[in-house]
A and B are shown apart, each in its own frame.
Chain A
Amino acid sequence: DTGVSQDPRHKITKRGQNVTFRCDPISEHNRLYWYRQTLGQGPEFLTYFQNEAQLEKSRLLSDRFSAERPKGSFSTLEIQRTEQGDSAMYLCASSLTRTNEQFFGPGTRLTVL
């Protein structure tokens, strides 16, 4: 399967702990996106990369969130000092630069207790 993969699929953590999620995009895709989604809502944009460059970060994203894509391949999203409001599904998507079609991974479900 050469689709987008995410790890872990589920993460339960206690408030105040740090968590890190990984996304492996489709290999030839140079754009990578992170979204957050709560139940029954559409995806909320967090940030995106073109190769290794982080081109945009949502103003809604607090300083506790950071994302990297060091070699332009996989990406990590870290949340520091988690809060209960961070509980959500975190989605990763990738695309080619020349198209708007984004292909999503299965997501990481985060629960902060």
Chain B
Amino acid sequence: TQLLEQSPQFLSIQEGENLTVYCNSSSVFSSLQWYRQEPGEGPVLLVTVVTGGEVKKLKRLTFQFGDARKDSSLHITAAQPGDTGLYLCAGAGNNRKLIWGLGTSLAVNP
């Protein structure tokens, strides 16, 4: 059974701080996606990483896929209150069904 562990589960920081969220697995994924979800809404796709070692940037967000395609990280620089939300990672398994992490609930305080 493929599992995806996400950490930390909760994070509360002050505006302007940096943070990193991790997704780890013992399984290899063909691709991995990061989503952000606000309360009462569906997840919104932020990025897809496909190649081992790949780094993608989306403004203040930096996403990295591990060399072995088993893990990924999301780094946010100078967090803003608008970054508050639930961050979810999801890896594509053998049958392309997504394996989901439990999410990191981020609160950025002004």
Contacts and interface: CB of A to CB of B under 8 A. Distances in A.
A100 B96 contact: yes
A25 to B, nearest CB: 12
Interface in B24-56: 30-31, 33, 35, 40-45, 48
B42 A104 contact: yes
Q: What size tier do the contact residues of chain A reach?
A: 20 to 34
Contacts, number: 54
Given A100-B33, A101-B45, A41 B103 contact: yes
Interface stretch (A14-22, A68-76, A105-113): A105-113
A42 B42 contact: no
Size class of the contact patch on chain B: 20 to 34
Binding site secondary structure of chain A: loop
Nearest to A100: B92
Nearest to A42: B100
A91 interface: yes
Closest 3 CB pairs of A and B: A104-B42, A100-B92, A42-B100
Interface of A: 4, 40-45, 48, 56, 91, 93, 100-107, 109
Given A42-B6, A42-B101, 16 more contacts: A40-B105, A42-B90, A44-B100, A56-B97, A91-B42, A100-B30, A100-B31, A100-B96, A101-B45, A102-B45, A103-B45, A104-B42, A104-B44, A104-B45, A106-B42, A107-B41
